[in-house]
Each structure stands twice: as structure tokens, then as C-alpha cells.
Amino acid sequence: MTDLTVHCEADAWSHGYACNSRFFWISDIYNMLQKLAEYQRDVHLRCSGAQKALEDFKAQQVELVMDIHEVNPNLHSNMVELC
């Protein structure tokens, strides 16, 4: 799910950890969970084309997140300041 949501990445060395961390806006996570629940409900109800729609949605979201980070090279530094 975290690959489907825009995030900022921050090096955690400043906090004493030797790993990178991802930070998310709570509202973004909530909204993504709501969207995923709708798709998963349709899959559970065996709606026609629901599984394909879920897979397509996930693929599009991953691509969107990657594009946002690629097109906005300053997003990382700007969002880290906000996080």
C-alpha cells in the first residue's frame, strides 16, 4: 500500500537510525485505504472485471507516485522540511 501513496523519504541518520524512512500524510493513507477497499469489495463480490480493475489501479498509482517524484526533483527536499 505504501508504494501507492506519495511520500517523502528522509535519511534517519539525524535521528540516530541507519536507514531511510518514508513519511506519509495521514489523509493520503486514509484516502488510499478507502479506494483500495472499494476495489477489494468488488473483487470479493466477484464483480465482472474487478480483479483486473484492482490490478490496473495499483499499477497506475505506482506509476503516478514514481512520476511525481521523478518530475519534481525538489519534492524530496521540500517535503522533508514539511515532515
Q: Could you report the per-residue pLDDT of 28-75, keeping only the tens digit for each?
A: 899 999 999 999 999 999 999 999 999 999 999 999 988 887 877 555
**Can you tell me whether residue 83 is helix, strand or coil?**
coil
What integer pLDDT is reported at residue 75 of this predicted model? Answer: 56
Judged against a pLDDT cut of 60, whether residue 22 lies above it is answered with: yes
**What angle in degrees, to the nearest 10, is found between the helix axes of 26-44 and 50-71?**
160
What integer pLDDT is reported at residue 82 of this predicted model? Answer: 46
What integer pLDDT is reported at residue 65 of this predicted model? Answer: 87
Which domain, by its residues, includes 13? Answer: 2-82
Q: Cell for 8? A: 517523502
What integer pLDDT is reported at residue 62 of this predicted model? Answer: 93
Q: Total domain count for the chain?
A: 1
Q: Cell for 79? A: 517535503
